Structure formats: structure tokens, C-alpha cells
Amino acid sequence: MKTIAVMANKGGVGKTGITLGLAGAAAHRGLAVLVIDLDPQGNATSHLKTRKGRMSLADVLASPLPETFVDAISICDWDASIGEVDVLPSHPDIIRFDAWSPGRSTTKLRRAMKDVEGYDLVLIDCPPSLGALTREALTASDKALIVTTPSYFGAQGVEKSLAEITEIQKSTNPDLEFAGVVMNRFRPTAEEHNYRLSELTDIVGARTILKPLLPERMVFQQAEGSGAPVQAIPGAAAKEVGEILNSYLTKLLREPRVINEAI
């Protein structure tokens, strides 16, 4: 079971869409996927059309035991169309677990996941911040994937996320791998976007930016509106995005180590 934390230190970059796009790509391959919605906003939980249960991630963080973790897992409506996708649903109450101070333990999620079996891939949708919840995700993960957009603040967010990954490697999870950066909503004809790509390349190195870049397309919004995976949206744009996400998944699952030149 491989666990990947999908993170961004800035809201609005499409982090949840990328997370669920990877989940859809994996399910289409026949893999059993678990999405952990660690964002208090619960967008992944809503998009997956999660069937409400009596427990949520708030219960897991309050009582980080394997049995609590398993009891909180819910099925979702995506199962009917693409294969096994389960979700550990978010809850607004998890925000109370996001306060962090030096010396505070962030191993709750890892302890709760310790004996969980039956999934090929776990994707953690982190909150758009670097508080205790994101630290919980990084401590519990094998790899960390950063999502950004071609903007000034996007580049700043990547730098801060890299620093967070390095800190977790030194403290609670020495086996954590930096899986690279997804640049979302890229327009190759935009001079500003090409400048920001060059800027990001200087920060992380060319090999850490996943290729091809994700173009600016409406398919993620269409998927959100219909509560369906990107792979189920008709049209050439959705096919293009689906193929790119599938290529990312191949890199994430098969490459032994992405390049740590950036950290």
C-alpha cells in the first residue's frame, strides 16, 4: 500500500481536483483506492458523494486506533462507475487538530493507519496550509506531491512546502520522499506563465516538475459540478487531462525516488 500526501501551501490551486483525478486514474486501472480528506472544508468528501456514516476523520484523530480508522471509512458513489474508491470523510471539527507548536506529536494518523490493509493506494488531500494536519499527512505518507499554479504566490508556496517536507524527513518520517511538483492551469502562450515556470525550475529543478504540465481546462470544474471523476467527463479536453493524470500516476507508483535535488 503506497500513501501519497497531496499538498499545497495556497488555496485555489486545484489540489483536491488533482487528488481525485489521481484516484480516478488508479481506480480505472483496477486499483483499490482510499482517499483521506484531511481538509476541514471537506471538498473531496462532497465531490466523492460520500455516504454519511456515524464516524469521520475527527473521530480518528480523537482516538487514533486502527479499529477507529476502519470504522470511519465510507464508500462513495464513484464505486458504481470506475471501481473501488473509498473515503475517510472530513468533518469541520478536525480544524481543532490543526494547531501546532514545536514538540507537539503529529503521529496520530500514522498510528491509526498502521495495520490497515486492502488498498493499493492511499491519497491524502491535505489542507491548504502547513499546520498540524499537513504534518500528520506527511508523517503518515511514503511520498509528498506539491500542487501549484504559475503565479508568484504559487512559487512561494512551493518553497515553504519543500521546507516542511525537509523538516518532517528530519523529525517524524525519515523515509518520506519528495515526489515532485504538479503545475496546474498552465497556458503555454502566456508570457507570465512561462516566466513562472522558469522561476519554479530554478527553485526545484527541471526534473522535479511533472510533465506534461496540466493545461488550463474546465474539466475539473465540470467534474466537481457533476460529482463525477474527470475520467467520466466527455470530450477531448477531459481525455487530454485524463491521460496526463494517468502519466503522473505511473511516475508516482513506479519511480523508486524522485529527485531530491530541490530539498
Bridge pairing between strands 85-88 and 74-75: antiparallel
- Give 22-45 pLDDT, tens digit per residue: 999 999 999 999 999 999 999 999
Which residues, in sequence order, are CB contacts of 170 under 8 Å at separation 6+?
none
Residue 136 cell numbers, joined: 500528520
Question: Residue 59's domain spans which residues?
Answer: 2-252
Distance between CA atoms of residues 176 and 147, nearest Å = 17
Neighbours of 171 (CB within 10 A): 12
CATH code for position 107: 3.40.50.300
Q: What is the percent of the chain where pLDDT is above 70?
A: 95
Judged against a pLDDT cut of 60, whether residue 92 lies above it is answered with yes
Which residues, in sequence order, are CB contacts of 249 under 8 Å at separation 6+?
22, 25, 26, 29
In a domain, 258, yes or no: no
- Give 52-61 pLDDT, tens digit per residue: 778 999 999 9
Judged against a pLDDT cut of 60, whether residue 17 lies above it is answered with yes
Which DSSP letter does residue 100 get?
Answer: -
- Assign 233 a pLDDT band (cuts: 50, 70, 90): very high
Cα dihedral 23/25/28/30 (nearest 10): -70
Mean pLDDT of the chain: 92
DSSP 3-state assignment of 103? coil
What pLDDT was estimated at residue 80? 58
Q: 115: closest CA among 153, 65, 80?
A: 65
In a domain, 98, yes or no: yes
Number of domains in the chain: 1
Q: What is the value of pTM for the model shown?
A: 0.93
